[in-house]
Amino acid sequence: MSEEFPGWHGTTIIGVKKGGEVVIAGDGQVSLGQTVIKGTARKVRRLSPGGFDVVCGFAGSTADAFTLLERLETKLEATPGQLQRAAVELAKDWRTDKYLQKLEAMLIVSDGKEIYVITGAGDVLEPEHDVTAIGSGGNYALAAARALMDGDLSAEEVARRAMAIAADICVYTNGNLTVETIAG
């Protein structure tokens, strides 16, 4: 990336698995350098290939993320009901395909039973402690959610509170959330 181009920043996506459900939440801010370009972006989506629901959140380049979501949907159609297998197949393609290798994005995906982070390094990670986060405010949201997991809060309440904390700390994260819940 050129030094003259400030680069796209921003996004916090969190996934919380608790009480028989998974919640994926994402903020709505898109920034270019120090400027907020948009505050209402929708970075969490529900895919339903063949009637099989999967919730996905993405961080990174939007065009790259949509390319990956399309590829994931194709993998899910080929392996209905097998999120882990589809995620591994996507990660293998992402790692070995010269076009896909240039994509700059990460995904959190869940079918309600499992939750995974898919990276361009070929990783399919299953988080410890049933919580994961990606993006510029991801570490703030992750720390907050882990602290909140032992209480009586629902998965959605943990996700919302953790995102509020991240938005208070990270200048690339706002409080305009998209929240999707999927039961296990």
Catalytic residue at 11?
A: yes
Domain boundaries, the chain: 8-183
Instruction: Name the more confident of 128 and 50.
Output: 128
The winner for highest mean pLDDT among 55-64, 112-121, 173-182 is 173-182
Torsion over CA of 137, 105, 133 and 33, rounded to 10 degrees? 0
Q: Which residues are annotated as a binding site?
A: 167, 170, 173
Residue position matching structure tokens 């990174």:
60
**Dihedrals phi, psi of 3, to nearest 5 degrees:** -65, -25
Residues 59-87: tens digit of each pLDDT = 988 888 888 899 899 999 999 899 999 99
The overall average pLDDT reported for the chain is 89
pTM: 0.91
Spatial separation of the C-alpha atoms in residues 167 and 5, rounded to whole Å:
25
Q: Which residues are annotated as a binding site for Na(+)?
A: 167, 170, 173
**Which position among 11, 12, 132, 181 bears the catalytic label?**
11
Spatial separation of the C-alpha atoms in residues 118 and 54, rounded to whole Å:
14
Spatial separation of the C-alpha atoms in residues 119 and 134, rounded to whole Å:
10
Q: Which two tokens stand for residue 102?
A: 């240039």
Over 70: is that where the pLDDT of 6 sits?
no
Q: In whole angstroms, what separates CA 62 from the centre of its chain?
A: 12
CATH number 3.40.50.1700 is the correct assignment for the domain at 8-183:
no
